[in-house]
Amino acid sequence: MNFENLKTEVKTILSAENLSRDEKLKNLCQFLTDNIDYYNWVGFYFANHEAKTLHLGPYVGAETDHTVIPFGKGICGQVAESNANFVVPDVAAQDNYIACSFTVKSEIVVPLFVNGINIGQIDIDSHVIDPFTEKDERFLEFVNEQVAKLF
C-alpha cells in the first residue's frame, strides 16, 4: 500500500466546497474503505470532555451499537485518556476491548488533536489479524492533521 498516493485525494475530499464537515468526513471514510482493502470499518468518534464520553460521528461500515463510549472503556476510550495511538493486532487478546462484531480481528485508533486538545479520533476495524503497520499510523496521523483543519 502506497499511502503517499492517497494523501492528495484526502486533501481534495476535505477541501470540497458546498459540503458540511460531516459530509466531508463520511466521504473520507468511504474513500479509505474503498482504497485500503483491510480497512473494513472506518469512523470518527468525538469527545465530550465534560461528560467524559466519546460520541460516534460519520462512519462507513457495519452498523454499531457503540454510539457513546465512556473514556477509559474499550480501545477508543483508552485513546481518549492516553492521547496516544493504539494498535491492536488481535482484538481477541485485548482485555479492555468492546466487541463490535465477530468479523473484527484487529483495530487501530489514532487521536485527533485541534490546538493541542484531543477532540476525538479515527477508528478503523479490520477483518484481518495484524494488518496495521507504522505506515498506517503515520498515514492516519496525516489524515487527522488534515481533518483538524475543519475545526
Domain count, the chain: 1
145, three cell numbers? 492533521
Please, which pLDDT band fits residue 91 given cuts at 50, 70 and 90?
confident
Predicted pLDDT of residue 140: 98
Can you give the pLDDT at residue 2?
87
Confirm if 70 and 50 have CB atoms less than 8 A apart.
no
Q: Output the domain CATH number for residue 25.
A: 3.30.450.40
What 3 state SS string does the chain have?
A: CCCHHHHHHHHHHHCCCCCCHHHHHHHHHHHHHHHCCCCCEEEEEEEECCCCEEEEEEEECCCCCCCEEECCCHHHHHHHHHCCCEEECCHHHCCCCCCCCCCCCEEEEEEEEECCEEEEEEEEEECCCCCCCHHHHHHHHHHHHHHHCCC
pLDDT at 138 over 80: yes
Instruction: Note the residue count of the chain.
Output: 151
- Tell me the pLDDT of the chain averaged across its residues: 94
pLDDT at 100 (0 to 100): 64
Tens digits of residue pLDDT in 59-88:
999 998 899 999 999 999 999 999 999 999
Task: With a cut of 70, say whether residue 135 has pLDDT above it.
Answer: yes
Query: pLDDT tens for residues 93-111?
Result: 876 666 666 788 999 999 9
Residue 142 and residue 3: Cα distance in Å, rounded? Answer: 10
CA neighbor of 123 nearest in space, from 16, 29, 48, 52: 29
- The residue range of the domain holding 86 is 4-148
Rounded to 5°, angle at Cα 150 from 3 and 71: 85
Q: What are phi and psi of 63, to 5 degrees?
A: -60, 150
* Digit-coded pLDDT (tens) for 10-32: 999 999 999 999 999 999 999 99
